[in-house]
Each structure stands twice: as structure tokens, then as C-alpha cells.
Amino acid sequence: DQQVKQNSPSLSVQEGRISILNCDYTNSMFDYFLWYKKYPAEGPTFLISISSIKDKNEDGRFTVFLNKSAKHLSLHIVPSQPGDSAVYFCAASVGSNDMRFGAGTRLTVKP
């Protein structure tokens, strides 16, 4: 069962614009959420996280928003850069239990 869903397999934006990647989850027990970025031939790298006690976490150009009532998570990248082109995975876990990942969204930032 897909407890974490990324319904958009791909997204294309212009350099300098905002990229918004979305993620939905079904398990209301999830209390920790993360975003990972993956380049081809490399393993995923941690990007940003948020716990369920917050609704926003910001780190430079990256901001993650959490809407618990809607069970929705989003990652905003502002401004988008060509080097941001990668596959982005959202992940969720209940405490320290196993992490569930979405299928990923391929972001392409055009110069």
C-alpha cells in the first residue's frame, strides 16, 4: 500500500521561478517528514525535514510546508536553479520506525 504518494511524476519550471513539489500521505500517525533529492547514478541525499509539531520549515531556498488536516506536504524551491534538476522523494515515518517513501517527482529546471 502506498502510504506516501507523489502524484506528479515530473515537473518542469523556468530558472528563477518557484518549484512546488507535492506529497500526500494516508497514515495520520506519521509524525516526521523528509525530502530527499536524487541525481542519476547517486544515492538520495537528505534535503530538509519537518516534524508534525510544525507547519513550516525553511532552509535557504528550500521550504517545506505541512498541512496535517489535509495530510499534505509540499516543498518549495525559490528561486529554482538548473542544478536543482533531480528526482525528489518525500518520506514519512512514525517516530523512529521505518520510513515510507513516495515514488518521486522528476524536477527539470530550464535555463
Partner 1 sequence: KAGVTQTPRYLIKTRGQQVTLSCSPISGHRSVSWYQQTPGQGLQFLFEYFSETQRNKGNFPGRFSGRQFSNSRSEMNVSTLELGDSALYLCASSLLIGGGLNTEAFFGQGTRLTVV
Binding site for partner 1 (CB under 8 A): 4, 6, 32, 34, 36, 41-46, 49, 51, 89, 91, 93, 95-104
Distance CA 43, CA 20 (A): 22
Grid coordinates of 109: 529546471
Cell of 70: 489535509
State the nearest-atom distance from the C-beta of 15 to partner 1, in Å: 27
**Looking at beta carbons only, is 32 or 65 nearer to partner 1?**
32
- As a whole number of angstroms, the distance between CA 107 and CA 11 comes to 5
Nearer to partner 1 by C-beta: 102 or 109? 102
The nearer residue to partner 1, 69 or 98, going by C-beta atoms, is 98
Q: How far is the CB of 4 from partner 1 (least distance, A)?
A: 8
For every residue of 12-42, DSSP letters joined together read EEETTS-EEEEEEE--TT--EEEEEEE-TTS
Min CB(14)–partner 1 separation in Å: 26
Which grid coordinates are listed for 62? 528550500
